[in-house]
């Protein structure tokens, strides 16, 4: 398995290291995966992103458990498996603990549609209730938070973003952090965001259709 990792491995490593360099996955947090011939390929547990090589990545079936031996997948493999099982439109998944979005997640605060770029996420970004990391409960919570969306905040935890490609999932995760920073800036200035209405949001979502059709 690990010695026949297909080409997406290099792309997963590039995205992981870019997230790390941008400070979006502090202290080895987060994980990245994409679909592969045998299911999906995911970053391993406990390996610093800068040291990752394709052989460290772990391939898992969408329905099933990791092998008893060999490299250990990220502790959040259940969350990735559950999303791939339920979302045919997800070709890749990026999970971060990006600081500003995580700050909102720790306040139980989702992100309202105050900027048109939120259309990348498919609309307002929900904040889901807390569930313990690595559990089936968190996996189910993430799937619910992503209903009709490409991103959700995981309460007291972080962000999960999906896309029709690894690049798209990466772009969504980065944009969630941008939006969180803008929202926090408004909140700390005591400003009330003026929200885009549903019609305008639908128009922008349509203009972003090259990000792949969202499963609703």
- Which residues are known catalytic residues? 76
Q: Count of residues binding Zn ion (CB under 5 A)?
A: 1
Q: Smallest distance from the beta carbon of 158 to Zn ion, in angstroms? A: 5
Q: Smallest distance from the beta carbon of 116 to Zn ion, in angstroms? A: 28
Closest CB to Zn ion among 27 and 69? 27
Residues 31 and 140: their CA atoms lie apart, in Å, by 17
Within 10 Å of residue 6's Cβ, how many Cβ atoms? 14
Distance set, CA 75 to CA 42, 79, 92, 114, 201 (Å): 10, 9, 17, 34, 35
Closest CB to Zn ion among 39 and 158? 158
Closest CB to Zn ion among 111 and 154? 154
User: Which residue in the shown chain puts its C-beta closest to Zn ion?
Assistant: 158
Tokens of 128: 């889901």
Q: Tell me which residues in 152-191 interact with Zn ion (CB under 5 A).
A: 158
Write each residue from 42 to 81 as x if it is in contact with Zn ion (CB under 5 A), else as -, in one continuous string: ----------------------------------------
Distance set, CA 17 to CA 26, 43, 48, 137, 172 (Å): 11, 11, 9, 28, 16
Q: Smallest distance from the beta carbon of 146 to Zn ion, in angstroms? A: 15
Tell the burial category of 186 from Cβ atoms under 10 Å away from its Cβ (0-12, 13-18, 19+). Answer: middle
Q: Smallest distance from the beta carbon of 200 to Zn ion, in angstroms? A: 33
The residue ranges that bind Zn ion (CB under 5 A) are: 158
């Amino acid at each position: 398995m690990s010695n026949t990792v297909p080409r997406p491995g290099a792309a997963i490593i590039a995205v992981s290291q870019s997230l790390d360099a941008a400070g979006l996955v502090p202290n080895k947090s987060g994980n990245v995966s994409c679909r592969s011939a045998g299911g999906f390929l995911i970053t391993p547990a406990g390996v610093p992103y800068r040291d990752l090589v394709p052989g460290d990545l772990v391939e898992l079936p969408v329905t099933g458990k990791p092998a008893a031996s060999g490299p250990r997948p990220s502790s959040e493999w259940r969350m990735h498996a559950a999303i791939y099982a339920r979302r045919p439109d997800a070709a890749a998944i990026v999970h971060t603990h990006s600081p500003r979005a995580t700050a909102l997640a720790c306040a139980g605060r989702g992100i309202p549609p105050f900027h048109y770029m939120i259309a990348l996420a498919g609309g307002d970004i929900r904040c889901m209730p807390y569930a313990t990391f690595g559990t089936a409960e968190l996996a189910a919570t993430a799937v619910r938070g992503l209903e009709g969306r490409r991103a959700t905040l995981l309460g007291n935890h972080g962000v999960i973003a999906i896309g029709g490609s690894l690049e798209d999932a990466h772009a969504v995760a980065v944009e969630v952090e941008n939006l969180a920073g803008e929202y926090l800036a408004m909140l700390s200035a005591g400003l009330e965001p003026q929200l885009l209405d549903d019609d305008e949001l639908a128009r922008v979502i349509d203009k972003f259709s090259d990000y792949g059709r969202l499963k609703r």
